[in-house]
């Protein structure tokens, strides 16, 4: 009898394609939620949020939201443009730049670190819906309940700072998922890419936002501050994402509560999200703001 054919091994990558540096551990290009291999700047950072618990590896990348014109995003593009092997020092300097100096943003608020510094639909982004909370087993089940892009465009939602929630956004949700990637946007929101359990073999992602904070007198301040504090404490300041997306290996279990928000700003042109995952992000609806978040098992 012929010997049983051995199962072929998954391909692995042992060198960072962007810089030529050795990878700290083999990279699996077929893993769910993997960034573009040629976007990884560094893969050496690991952290263990809970003693005795799982250790997570951070893949720091040059991936940014394509519409971002912050100083770090512009500098990253400049360092990459036309370069077969970009200068590591230039890449490192780019991700450390402040995003505060950008038209349409409150630079003073951005400099205060945790305060919300944006203007687009500010009233909606810094409010919490009043509806009863609905529970969903994962983001795919949640996405299936959302009104279509065409339906939302017909509502002609204003993008002004005073634009509040429209009736179809008056929904609070509780959902389970996995955090695959995160970045920090110019308005001081932490931009979370949340997807399905990587074991299911299907990739579907959506955006959730751990919001920059409103004034302390705002009705939503307590909930938004609690969520932001939980997020910060899990990563500690030294592991928080910056302008370039951080991807997590393995993806981090997540349970979140929040209000639904339609990001009308992106109803035309580029949608939010890291370029490597956007083809599996079927909606520009968001959970925004997140009002409660638990990370880790």
- The encoded tokens of residue 126 equal 């810094």
Least confident of 59-73, 140-154, 185-199, 206-220: 59-73
d(CA 40, CA 36): 7
Q: What percent of the chain has pLDDT over 70?
A: 89
- What sign has the CA pseudo-torsion 226, 231, 234, 238? negative
pLDDT for 79? 73
Candidate from 106-120, 200-214, 282-296 with smallest mean pLDDT: 106-120
- Total number of domains constituting the chain: 1
Which residue has tokens 């929101």? 189
Query: How far is 275 from 75, CA to CA, in rounded Å?
Result: 17
Cα–Cα nearest to 249, from 97, 59, 41, 37: 59
Is 64 among the domain residues? yes
- Residue 78 placed within a domain: yes
What's residue 111's pLDDT? 47
Is 288 inside a domain boundary? yes
Instruction: Decide if 28 is inside a domain.
Output: yes
pTM for the model stands at: 0.88
Q: Mean pLDDT across the stretch 250-258?
A: 98
* pLDDT beyond 50 at 5: no
pLDDT at 243 over 70: yes
Residue 271 lies in a domain: yes
Task: Say yes or no to pLDDT of 104 above 80.
Answer: no
d(CA 280, CA 176): 18
Select from 227, 213, 192, 233 the least CA-distant residue to 65. Answer: 192
pLDDT surpassing 50 at residue 57: yes
pLDDT in tens, 158-202: 999 999 999 999 999 999 999 999 999 888 999 999 999 999 889
Residue 127 counted as domain residue: yes
Q: Is the pLDDT of residue 283 over 90?
A: yes
Query: What pLDDT was estimated at residue 108?
Result: 47
Write down the H helix ranges in the chain.
71-80, 88-95, 107-111, 122-125, 139-143, 149-153, 221-235
Q: Give the span between the Cα atoms of 195 and 216, in whole angstroms.
A: 32
pLDDT for 98 equals 60
N-term to C-term CA, the chain: 46
Given the structure tokens 């087993």, which residue do they identify? Answer: 137
Using DSSP's 3-state secondary structure scheme, residue 178 falls into strand
Q: Are 146 and 281 a contacting pair, CB within 8 Å?
A: no
Q: Is residue 4 part of a domain?
A: no
Answer for the pair 9, 201: CB distance below 8 angstroms, yes or no.
no
Pair 213, 225: CB distance under 8 Å: yes
Query: What is the enclosing helix (H) or strand (E) of 44?
Result: strand 40-47
Instruction: Please tell me the predicted confidence (pLDDT) of residue 3.
Output: 43
What mean pLDDT, rounded, does the chain reach? Answer: 88
Can you give the pLDDT at residue 233?
Answer: 95
**Mean pLDDT of all residues in 75-87:** 71
Residue 8 lies in a domain: no
Question: What pLDDT shows up at residue 272?
Answer: 85
* Sign of the C-alpha dihedral computed for residues 125, 126, 128 and 129 taken in this order: negative
Parent domain of 288: 13-295
């Amino acid at each position: 009898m012929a010997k049983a054919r051995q199962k072929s091994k998954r391909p692995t990558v042992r060198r960072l394609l962007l810089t030529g540096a050795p990878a700290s551990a083999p990279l699996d290009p077929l893993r769910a939620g993997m960034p573009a291999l040629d976007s990884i700047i560094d893969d050496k950072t690991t952290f263990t949020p809970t003693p005795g618990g799982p250790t997570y590896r951070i893949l720091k990348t040059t991936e940014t939201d394509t519409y971002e014109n912050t100083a770090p995003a512009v500098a990253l593009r400049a360092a990459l443009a036309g370069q077969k092997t970009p200068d590591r020092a230039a890449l490192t300097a780019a991700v450390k730049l402040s995003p505060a100096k950008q038209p349409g943003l409150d630079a003073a608020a951005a400099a205060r670190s945790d305060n919300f510094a944006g203007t687009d639909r500010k009233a909606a982004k810094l409010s919490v819906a009043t509806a009863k909370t609905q529970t969903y087993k994962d983001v795919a089940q949640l996405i299936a309940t959302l009104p279509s892009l065409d339906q939302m465009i017909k509502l002609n939602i204003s993008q002004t700072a005073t634009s509040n929630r429209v009736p179809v956004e008056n929904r609070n949700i509780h959902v389970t998922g996995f955090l695959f990637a995160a970045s920090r946007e110019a308005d001081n929101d932490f931009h979370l890419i949340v997807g399905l359990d990587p074991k299911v073999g299907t990739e579907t992602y959506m955006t959730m936002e751990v919001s920059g904070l409103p004034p302390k007198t705002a009705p939503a301040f307590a909930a938004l501050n609690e969520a932001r504090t939980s997020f910060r404490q899990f990563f500690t300041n030294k592991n928080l994402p910056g302008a370039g997306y951080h991807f997590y290996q393995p993806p981090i279990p997540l349970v979140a509560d929040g209000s639904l928000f339609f990001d009308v700003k992106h109803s035309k042109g580029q949608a939010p999200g890291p370029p490597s995952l956007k083809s599996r992000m079927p909606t520009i609806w968001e959970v925004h703001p997140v009002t409660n978040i638990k990370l880790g098992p």
